[in-house]
A = this chain, B = another copy of it.
């Protein structure tokens, strides 16, 4: 029996146990090849099959249309903060950014080295407790794209209504990657690190509209060019093979569960279990987030005071519920419940929360 705790980490975090066991089993000798997958040439037939299957599953699971490229790029979402404007912005064009919290701020700060970026909506004055309604977003002329962070891991908020404002959207979906469907017609680019919902740390997956690449900037290094990665099917240089391999395994696991629609419903159900406890606690637990923007991935909540929060975290850890502390920049508690988090674990936490409130309320 494998020891297993309930891991509510904000990322990296829980992956499907069946996938971990599968990877373990074939780790030293991959499919009787006499070597590990990580010892194989990235140009070998065996690896190529793994690579192409992960790419196919990424497209299929996310429902990305044929006119989008699927790219595997190292550097996480953080490098994408730079690559998006590097590739997409031309002189005379601007990009609008919805500043919904910590990650949006990072995207704007890093991207500003590579083009004219502006804040199209700013949640800072409201402590990032909500996302904007589309009508609140102020677009300027010559805006090439509008950048949104669909879910803020730290603030625990998600976009409810995608802004359909006549400007292509670019979204960082890192913390709800493949946990909800994307209305592709509104988008030129969707990107995210895979280390929360989809695999180990060490890679981003980028979905980019082919038409957006035809006049992309080519006066940058090859590694930073989307069109180069696209032309070579993300085999331009040695790819992060283990991350891609595991991505494929996790995606196959998602497909086995029924695909994106089932995963999305599960996410809503799991989040609902925790928000339900919070709302029924007579104010013992408090979610600081605007109700309609509550994240389905990162459930943030406060207790009546910090001493109780400390005791809550300690008692939870004693009962094998770990990594429930909120981000250091905001404090409080946070339960991150990504795709691979079992509903049973969320149930255990919900029960614990009810009992803790009863005993300490």
Contacts and interface: CB of A to CB of B under 8 A. Distances in A.
B42 A201 contact: yes
A111 B221 contact: yes
A113 interface: yes
A171 to B, nearest CB: 18
A9 B5 CA distance: 39
Most buried by B among A21, A44, A82, A238: A238
A82 B223 contact: yes
A21 B12 contact: no
Contacts of A15: 36, 38-39
B28 A24 contact: yes
Contacts of A113: 219-221
A52 interface: no
A121 interface: no
A36 B9 contact: no
B74 A76 contact: yes
A13 interface: yes
B28 A5 contact: no
Contacts of A42: 12, 201
B27 A39 contact: no
Q: Say how many copies of this protein the assembly contains.
A: 2
A76 B238 contact: yes
B3 A32 contact: yes
Nearest to A15: B39
A93 interface: no
A238 B12 contact: yes
Contacts of A200: 38, 240-242
A238 B5 contact: no
A28 B74 CA distance: 24
Contacts of A330: none
A40 interface: yes
A76 to B, nearest CB: 5
A29 B4 CA distance: 8
A222 interface: yes
A135 interface: no
A319 to B, nearest CB: 12
Interface in A45-90: 74-76, 78-79, 81-82
Contacts of A149: none
Interface string A1-17: 01111010111111101
29 contacts: A2-B29, A3-B32, A7-B35, A9-B41, A9-B44, A10-B41, A12-B38, A12-B238, A15-B39, A17-B28, A20-B36, A23-B27, A24-B27, A41-B323, A74-B74, A74-B76, A74-B79, A74-B203, A79-B221, A82-B221, A82-B224, A106-B222, A109-B222, A114-B221, A193-B238, A200-B240, A201-B238, A202-B242, A240-B243
Interface of A: 2-5, 7, 9-15, 17, 20-21, 23-24, 27-29, 32-36, 38-42, 44, 74-76, 78-79, 81-82, 106, 109-111, 113-114, 193, 195, 199-203, 219-224, 236-243, 246, 320, 322-323
